[in-house]
Amino acid sequence: MAQLLFQNARVVDPSQNLDTVCDVLCRENQIAQIGQGLCADSATVINASGLVLAPGLVDLHVHLRDPGFTEKEDVLSGCKAAAAGGVTTLCAMPNTRPACDTPETVRYVLEQAKQADARVLPVAAITKGLCGEELTDMEALAQSGACAFSDDGVPVATAAFMARALKESARLRRPIFAHTEDRSLSAGGIINEGKWSARFGVGGIPNAAEDAGTAREIALLMNAPKGAHLHICHVSTVGSAALIADAKAKGLSVTAETCPHYFIYDEDKLETRDADYRMNPPLRSAQDRKAIEQALLNGTIDVIATDHAPHTPTEKQDFLKAPNGVIGMETSFSASYTALVATGKLSLSELIQRMSCRPAEILGVGGGTLRIGERADLILIDEKERWTVNTDRLHGKSRNCVFKGCSLRSKVKMTVLDGRIVYNELF
């Protein structure tokens, strides 16, 4: 019987309000014991003195590009990147080729993930081909293993389809992940509508595009059946944050995520015309950046996700023509720690809550906890380590990293998935 015994770790688990130095024993794929002076004759003993042991991270927003775009990423390579960043569970978005809009494609993703270094939960499409013209068979997709539904990559084309999706959300008990954007307002835009779009003479994406999309989805949720759950993806504007806060105050079942680049960077990163800083939604104004950080700190935004979106170096060479998207799973924890914990804005426990416990709660499929009897998904973190992001040493296929060259604080040193060590920098 495989066993891992972690000794003298600082165990941080917000799901149990736990922050103490002790031992953790994993037997087979479960947390077996937590306490002082544990021993197990046949266990592999890991000296975790000076390290933090926490639940594995849960990333609600990842593009694995598989099937169809495996030159950018595939399930196995994406999960290697996940493990290196401490992500033990991830949600794979459906904008693949073919789109994840049939039970067969859901099963393909799950089959590919059987030998992967992270748990992959497919998010299935709301409309066939993400075209906004015909609803998928959401019940069949749920039965085949879809954890949620989204047309991410594009917004759901009409309010009528989104209203039907929210109705199915209530019936099937699966959340709807919403890419909130009014494309009649953002059409032709490649960066934030602001000083740099004006200076470069390129189309801009206004805040109003995201705000109008967010307002539409919240209005539809207000009229949806009880049990419908709306999750707003990659929030980037002060207006969307305010709309979400108001919806929560009204008691609506809405949650939200943002990504590290939205609370760390603003549109001034575009001055170099480097396409690695282009994504959708785009980097916004300094005012938006501050508002997103505040919304994350006060709980309006529940979750830090990555929107990990790999592209090849060739695709990212041309600033004007490059596709949107940045990778992020290997840097998300350290970047967030550097910006929020090292500056005293959040405690380590509060960061783990936003990157592990809360996203697991939203999905409702386990994880995000070290409770005895739960699966042994955990990470070891060295808070004292400082490291510089070298894209040549990343574990995925692509290099379009928004934190390239940055000096970050805190580092994931080991990742354990189902009691199995899948990433190890300790020995």
Q: What is the pLDDT of residues 285-322, one digit of tens each?
A: 999 999 999 999 999 999 999 999 999 999 999 999 99
Q: What is the pLDDT, as a whole number, of residue 258?
A: 99
- Catalytic residue numbers read 307
Check whether 201 has a pLDDT greater than 70.
Answer: yes
For 70-86, how does the pLDDT look when each residue is reduced to its tens digit (9 = 90+)?
999 999 999 999 999 99
- % of the chain residues with pLDDT over 70: 100
Q: CA dist 156 to 160, 165, 166, 373, 406, Å?
A: 9, 10, 12, 39, 36
Digit-coded pLDDT (tens) for 250-262: 999 999 999 999 9
CATH 3.20.20.140 placement within the chain:
56-363
d(CA 260, CA 324): 16
- Cα 16–18–20 angle (5° rounding)? 160
Q: What is the pLDDT of residues 139-148, one digit of tens each?
A: 999 999 999 9
Portions of the chain given CATH number 2.30.40.10: 3-53+374-392+402-424
Could you give the CA distance from residue 146 to residue 43 in angstroms, rounded to a whole number? 36
pTM for the complete prediction?
A: 0.98
Is the per-residue pLDDT at 30 higher than 80?
A: yes
Are the CB atoms for 64 and 396 separated by under 8 Å? no
Mean pLDDT of the chain: 98
Residues in the chain: 427
Instruction: Please enumerate in sequence order all residues whose Cβ is within 8 A of that of 314, keeping only pairs 6 or more positions apart, or say none.
Output: none
Does the pLDDT of residue 217 top 70, yes or no? Answer: yes
- Is the CB of residue 94 less than 8 Å from the CB of residue 138? no
Interstrand relation of 44-47 and 230-232 (parallel, antiparallel or unpaired): unpaired
In the chain, the N- to C-terminal Cα span, in Å, equals 22
Instruction: Indicate the pairing of strand 3-13 with strand 44-47.
Output: parallel
- What is the C-alpha to C-alpha distance for residues 77 and 117, in angstroms, rounded to an integer? 9
pLDDT band of 89, cuts 50, 70, 90 = very high
Q: What are phi and psi of 345, to 5 degrees?
A: -80, -30
- In this structure, which topology does domain 3-53+374-392+402-424 adopt according to CATH? Urease, subunit C; domain 1 (2.30.40)
Checking if the pLDDT of 93 tops 70, the result is: yes
CATH architecture of structural domain 56-363:
Alpha-Beta Barrel (3.20)
pLDDT at position 128 over 90 = yes
pLDDT at residue 348 is higher than 90: yes
pLDDT of residue 1: 60
pLDDT of residue 95: 98
The span from the CA of 137 to the CA of 141, in Å, is 6
The pLDDT assigned to 2 comes to 86
Q: What percent of the chain has pLDDT over 90?
A: 98
Mean pLDDT, residues 10-20: 98
pLDDT-derived band of residue 40, with 50, 70 and 90 as boundaries?
Answer: confident
* Cis, peptide link before residue 98, omega less than 30° from 0: yes
